[in-house]
Amino acid sequence: MKPFTKKPSAALPGDVCRILEHNEETLYLSLTGRLDASATAQLWTPLLNLVENIAPQLLRVKADAVTYCDGAGIGLLMELARRQLKRQGQYSLNGLKEEIAHLWSQYQPEDFLEIHSTRPQPCCMPEEAGRLVVHAWQSMLDMVRFTGELTLALLHAARHPRSVRWPEVWLVMEKAGVNALFIVGLISFLIGLIMAFQATIPMRQFGVEIYVANLTALSMLRELGPLMTALLLAGRSGSAFAAELGTMKINEEIDALTTMGLAPIPFLVVTRVLATVMIMPLLSLFANLMGLVGGAVVLLSLGYPLITYINQVKAAVNLLDLTGGLAKTLIFALIVAGVGCLYGLKTRSGASAVGDSATRAVVMGIILIVIADGLFAVVYYYLGI
């Protein structure tokens, strides 16, 4: 028999794999020891290069001396079989221990003849646009369905208050409200200070710097206070809701609740929605106060006494301005909590699924908050508020 003299491109680790025979038609290998991830990593490239260089018609693998084989080892054996079948050659594997043979029998090399890339292939613009439209339509249907279920659950909670898990509501209020006081107060203070400082420059040209107090008060109470509070909670609490429910979805805890007869929306979502609805108006009041304090700092630095600033604010705004802003927070709270819980319940499997759900919850929450704020502005305009 004429030996095949072409050398492999890399040396095989002799403690794991030995060549018993090789020629132009047959390659006979012997595997020994442990085929774990470490050994397979050392063996994979040189062994596959050897098989590619020789390209035998018959590849025989003797594995009676293999003492351990995990998924990595099975993957190597399967890749050898796949390449042989793809070049229309023959593959023989014998000597596997019973427990390894059982693992090997779970797969068929024929199923892996064509390996598709995990990276999606680029498509044409009309196809991509159609896919985006379908995804947007599906998301809209999911949101409508979730809104209906949540409405029914809230109505049931209103009729049967004892069915609500109030200790969970207080806990969520503490996390989403009390723990957020510092960041809400800091941002609102800086917004009020910056807005007053920027308005001072043009108003100084006309000698009406005192009206900076009017601008700050109206802007904070009617618009910026509720809006900034909602945006902060969307990034802070909305993402937390999505991450919590997403983790429960991946760990199959939500499936377990459903199996026990506990619907996820009444059991998990209602408590978070109620807590957010109750705490956001209070946070908005605190944001308004801190924004006014920021404006006061600017006016005090310009030499105006504090009592003058207070009187100007009292003359510029009334109770309707305050309640109009607080009314927005109820809708904003429903958006923040509802969107966060919706995307948490829609979490798919995978390592990055929870992060994706949290990101989508924040982005969609911010978009819906801005849209809702614009609708409020139009309604208030026609109502003369």
- Tell me which of 49, 83, 112 is where a domain ends: 112
Domain assignment of residue 125, yes or no: no
Q: Answer whether residue 260 shows pLDDT above 50.
A: yes
**Domain match, 53 and 182 both:** no
Domain assignment of residue 134, yes or no: no
Beta bridge partners of 68: 34
Domain assignment of residue 30, yes or no: yes
What confidence score (pLDDT) does residue 79 get? Answer: 84
Q: What is the pLDDT of residues 213-222, one digit of tens each?
A: 888 999 999 8
What confidence score (pLDDT) does residue 118 get? Answer: 59
Asked whether the CA dihedral 222, 286, 367, 338 is positive or negative, the reply is: negative
Confidence class of residue 333 from pLDDT cuts 50, 70 and 90?
Answer: very high
User: Is pLDDT larger for residue 190 or for residue 19?
Assistant: 190
pTM, entire model: 0.68
**Domain match, 42 and 99 both:** yes
Instruction: Tally DSSP H helices, then E strands, for the chain.
Output: 15, 4
User: Is pLDDT larger for residue 139 or for residue 277?
Assistant: 277
**What does residue 93 show for φ and ψ, rounded to 5 degrees?**
-125, 120
Domain assignment of residue 49, yes or no: yes
Burial of 97 (0-12, 13-18, 19+ CB in 10 A): middle
- Tell me which of 95, 112, 129 is where a domain ends: 112
Host domain of residue 25: 17-112
Q: Answer whether residue 109 shows pLDDT above 90.
A: no
What confidence score (pLDDT) does residue 276 get? Answer: 93
**Domain match, 104 and 241 both:** no
- Tell me which of 112, 140, 165 is where a domain ends: 112
Of all residues in the chain, what percent carry a pLDDT higher than 70?
94
Of the CA atoms within 13 Å of residue 291, those in its CB half-sphere come to: 30
Asked whether the CA dihedral 295, 296, 301, 304 is positive or negative, the reply is: positive
**Domain match, 100 and 165 both:** no
**Domain match, 243 and 350 both:** yes
**Inter-residue contact 357 to 343 (CB < 8 Å):** yes
The tally of domains found in the chain comes to 2
**Domain match, 352 and 222 both:** yes
**Domain match, 108 and 172 both:** no
**Domain match, 199 and 284 both:** yes
What confidence score (pLDDT) does residue 6 get? Answer: 45
Q: Answer whether residue 120 shows pLDDT above 80.
A: no
**Domain match, 160 and 61 both:** no
Q: What is the pLDDT of residues 222-234, one digit of tens each?
A: 899 999 999 999 9
Domain assignment of residue 133, yes or no: no
Return the amino acid letter for 98.
Answer: E
**Domain match, 363 and 282 both:** yes
Task: Work out the average pLDDT over 128-147.
Answer: 87
For residues 61 and 177, give the distance between their C-alpha atoms in angstroms, rounded to a whole number. 65
Rounded mean pLDDT of the chain? Answer: 86
**Domain match, 312 and 377 both:** yes
What confidence score (pLDDT) does residue 115 get? Answer: 62
Q: What is the dihedral of CA 270, 276, 278, 281, to 10 degrees?
A: -150
What confidence score (pLDDT) does residue 10 get? Answer: 53
- Order of strands, edge to edge, in the sheet holding 90-94? 17-22, 26-35, 58-69, 90-94
Question: Which residue bears the tokens 């399967």?
Answer: 78
Instruction: Give the CATH number of the domain where residue 34 resides.
Output: 3.30.750.24
Domain assignment of residue 118, yes or no: no
Domain assignment of residue 178, yes or no: yes
Domain assignment of residue 132, yes or no: no
**Domain match, 197 and 65 both:** no
